[in-house]
Amino acid sequence: MYSTMQLATKNEPAVRRDKFLELAAVTGLVGLQKSTVYRLIREGQFPAPLRIGPRTSRWVESSVLTWIQERIASGGALPPVQGKGGACNG
């Protein structure tokens, strides 16, 4: 059922419950490879996972869904990365 989520055109997703997601679930939701997810985390453009055990990290579902909604609202664009790319800083 779709009763727990609002449409993508709304400003924020309506998540009534939260859960932890493994990397495979995150990559499946966002449609990105794991290397891209980790690069975006390093660049501050994707939510970082929480460490829930000595060797276990998981993403909070609502933070990933919010990231997806923000990408939809911005037309899919990511914010520019400071100090990267071919732009002249002069």
> How does pLDDT run along the chain (90 residues), one tens digit per residue?
344 455 555 666 565 689 999 999 999 999 999 999 999 999 999 999 999 999 999 999 999 999 999 999 988 877 676 655 544 443
Q: What per-residue confidence (pLDDT) applies to 63?
A: 96
AA identity, residue 48 = A
Distances in Å between the Cα of 73 and the Cα atoms of 11, 21, 39, 70 are 8, 23, 22, 5
Which pLDDT score is estimated for 82?
A: 61
For β-strands 20-21 and 50-53, DSSP reports them as unpaired
Model pTM? 0.70
8 A C-beta contact, residue 30 and residue 77: no
Per the CB < 8 A criterion, the answer to whether 10 and 2 are in contact is: no
